[in-house]
Amino acid sequence: MEDSEQTQNSSTEKPDGGSVQNGHFDGRVKRPAPGGSGRAASAAASAAAVGAQIPCAESGAHRPVMESWREERTRSMEDNETSLPSLAAAYTTILRGLGEDPQRQGLLKTPWRAATAMQFFTKGYQEKIIDVLNDAIFDEDHDEMVIVKDIDMFSMCEHHLVPIFGRVHIGYLPNKRVLGLSKLARIVEIYSRRLQVQERLTKQIAVAITEALKPTGVGVVIEATHMCMVMRGVQKMNSKTVTSTMLGVFREDPKTRDEFLALIKC
């Protein structure tokens, strides 16, 4: 996925006094309050429904916890350039610590390559949903299920910094608004190209689609292999982890959920 063109604005600086947890603020960051209590209430309700990692905003704040739509980038292209020497130096230390010789021919440029690779694997921190989705939401009188399945997904385990890869299946029931199909895959890219936990990744994708489209329901299923389980630790070669998030009518109506699950299997 090519990096979307991003305009520079002051919000690309790391927010003062705030800490970013995988793109979600811990509530200490100063941001403009969302317009309209209705939207804030429904966003807060959906945030509560998915069980935010961070405790819900205090009463009276009317600030939804997971505003993925508005979330700020923690990194810019310029940050990538400036971080590269420190990253490369860190990788040189790692090579030495492992007993390798960083000066041998095969490893000479490895610190730089590994640093650039790691920046690519975490490029989701440079991207915002709003950049990707803008202009691709269409008014369409369609209220049947839309599914995009078998979206290849590559992420990094935040506990061991080792790849996770698998497939994502997304379904939603439009409520007068549909999304460009490739944008579903782009949402997957933004959240998967980060240090992740599969449960959180699944939820983030579902919440982002909910916030963008306000559909009647969203279902996201991820089936992935975790190299931290396959290459090390328990070393179970064939194990797969499956997580799902069902929102709206996908959660409330078993028939809708069954239809979604049947369609992604075939």
Partner 1 sequence: MEYQNASEMNGGVDRNLNASKHNSLCREKKDSKDTVDAKKLSHIEKAYTTILSELGENVDREGLLRTPLRAAKAMQFLTKGYKETTQDVLNDAIFDENHEEIVIVKDIELFSLCEHHLVPFFGKAHIAYLPNKKVVGLSKLARIVEIFSRRLQVQERLTKQIASAISEALEPAGVAVVIEAVHMCMVMRGVQKMNASTVTSVMLGRFHDDPTTRKEFLNLTMRK
Binding mask 170-209 for partner 1 (x = CB under 8 A): -------------------------x-x------------
Binding mask 19-58 for partner 1 (x = CB under 8 A): xxxx------------------------------------
- Helices and strands (H, E) in the chain, number of each type: 9, 9
Query: Which residue out of 160, 199, 223, 259 is catalytically annotated?
Result: 160
131 touches 70 (CB < 8 A): no
- Cross-strand bridge partners of residue 219: 171, 246
In the complex with partner 1, the residue whose CB is nearer, 209 or 229, is 229
Q: Which span sits near partner 1 by CB under 8 A: 41-49, 81-89, 208-216, 255-263?
A: 81-89
Query: Residue 196 belongs to what H/E stretch?
Result: strand 195-196
C-beta pairs of 96-103 under 8 Å, 24+ apart in sequence: none
* Nearest Cα to Cα of residue 129 among 201, 172, 183: 183
In the complex with partner 1, the residue whose CB is nearer, 24 or 257, is 24
Residue type, 67: E
Tokens of 253: 């109506």
Does the active-site annotation cover 56? Answer: no
| 165 φ/ψ angles, rounded to the nearest 5 degrees | -145, 155
**247 interacts with partner 1 by CB under 8 A:** no
How many C-beta atoms lie closer than 10 Å to residue 20's C-beta?
17
In the complex with partner 1, the residue whose CB is nearer, 99 or 254, is 99
Does the active-site annotation cover 226? Answer: yes
Select from 152, 252, 258, 263 the one that contacts partner 1 (CB under 8 A): 152
**Sign for the pseudo-dihedral over CA of 200, 1, 71, 26:** positive
Binding residues vs partner 1 (CB under 8 A): 19-22, 74-75, 79, 83, 86-87, 89-91, 93-100, 106-107, 109-110, 113-114, 117-122, 125-126, 152, 154, 158-163, 165, 195, 197, 227-228, 230-232, 237
Residues recognised as catalytic: 157-160, 198, 226, 228
